[in-house]
Amino acid sequence: MKQYRGIGMSKVSVIIPLYNREEFITPCLQSVINQTYRDMEIVVIDDGSTDRSPEICMEWSRTDSRIKLWRQKNSGVSAARNRGLELAGGEYLFFLDSDDKIHPLLLESCIRQMEIHQAQIASCGHMRTEEDISSFPTDEPAHWQSTEGYASEAWFHTNRKAAAAIGGKMIRRDLIGSLRFDETLRNGEDTMFLYELMCRQPRIVFTTEKWYYYRIHPNSLTNSDSLTSNIRYFECSRRMRDGEWQRGHAEFALIWEKITIMQMERSFLSLKKLGDREGCDQVKRLASAELRHPLYRRMRLYMRLSFMSCMFCPPLYELKTLLRRAYYKCLNTIKPQKSPG
């Protein structure tokens, strides 16, 4: 087994957790190798893959000495990222999933903007794509924005899709310090990690330019066993809701209360479709507790009725769904048509 300890010579460490991605690890690594910024190390943490993923990485490391492979027994993505944090030697850390890709100018642009603005985090937009990234524009985005203090927290809470994923983020090591990914979380571990960082109110530079290219795999939550054993699917959003509520940030807490309710509703419907009664009962018990939370009463009446009917009155929920579909169908029917010419 090839083992590695960061030598601390490169300015940037790209950390890639890897598990059974033999089909995608090559384009992932290629996108990093193609970066215009060269002073980096690429730390790949193989989390007990059973396919050819580690062998492919070893082959790459023979042609590019910046690629370092560490192998460990399967412990989950959080444990892999934490190992990467321990091994990486860079001043700046960039997290990349092993089935994703990045634009050739991303690292260089992040470094430049972080140094110009003395920022601790740089972030770009995300795009779902299966295309060859060589076909994307190569001009550097003209507009970067910076924020800090309370505004950094607001950016995180109100731009959840862009802000709450670790991919596409460059972070200064001194901001992270001893913070690590929570290995008890099976979903939302990266969001929780970023939330802890945002509570420190760092200076952030960001662009909406979509330079991080991700994939969505079908059946990522496919079986009843995984959903039942991971009923803490929404624990991350509940933690952030409670954290913001305790800090007196009711407006942020309410955002995460809504997300918690939507996640519970979605999980319940998925479990019901799979015929998992045990899982449904667990979600319903959690839902009963949510009804007593003071933030629940602050949500819009429509959301509360939808949630309660989903959990405790399925026929009413099905009727609501049918009426909603009919409403949107009617809207599409009466939508004015553009006149020819």
| The token pair that represents 289 in the structure block | 């507790």
Strand partners for 213: 101, 127
Give residue 338's pLDDT band: very low, low, confident or very high (50, 70, 90): low
What is the predicted pLDDT for the residue at 138? 62
**Average pLDDT of span 153-158:** 93
Higher pLDDT, 9 or 221: 9
| The token pair that represents 205 in the structure block | 């530079």
pLDDT at 66 over 80: yes
Q: Distance of CA 173 to CAs 25, 177, 269, 333, Å?
A: 25, 6, 41, 55
Give residue 142's pLDDT band: very low, low, confident or very high (50, 70, 90): low
What is the predicted pLDDT for the residue at 325? 82
List of residues 6+ apart from 330 with CB closer than 8 A: none
Question: How do residues 19-47 score in pLDDT, each as one tens digit?
Answer: 999 999 999 999 999 999 999 999 999 99
Spatial contact of 122 and 113, defined as CB atoms under 8 Å apart: yes
Give residue 160's pLDDT band: very low, low, confident or very high (50, 70, 90): confident
Higher pLDDT, 267 or 336: 267
pLDDT at 9 over 60: no
- What number does CATH give the domain 12-214? 3.90.550.10
What is the predicted pLDDT for the residue at 112? 94
Give residue 141's pLDDT band: very low, low, confident or very high (50, 70, 90): low
What is the predicted pLDDT for the residue at 339? 56
Give residue 222's pLDDT band: very low, low, confident or very high (50, 70, 90): very low
Q: Name which of 67-76, 121-130, 319-328 the model is least confident about.
A: 319-328
pLDDT at 59 over 60: yes
Highest mean pLDDT among 81-95, 213-227, 296-310, 311-325: 81-95
Higher pLDDT, 273 or 59: 59
Percent over 70 (pLDDT), the chain:
87
Q: In the block, which residue shows the tokens 């949510």?
A: 290
What is the predicted pLDDT for the residue at 317? 87
- Stated as kind and residue range, the H or E segment containing 260 is helix 250-274
pLDDT at 253 over 80: yes
Question: How do residues 279-294 score in pLDDT, each as one tens digit?
Answer: 889 899 999 999 999 9
| The token pair that represents 245 in the structure block | 């509520």
What is the predicted pLDDT for the residue at 133? 60
**Average pLDDT of span 242-250:** 96
Highest mean pLDDT among 8-17, 160-169, 205-214, 313-322: 205-214
DSSP 8-state code for residue 218: T
48: alpha, beta or left? (left if phi > 0; alpha if psi -120 to 50): left
pLDDT at 95 over 70: yes
Percent over 90 (pLDDT), the chain:
66
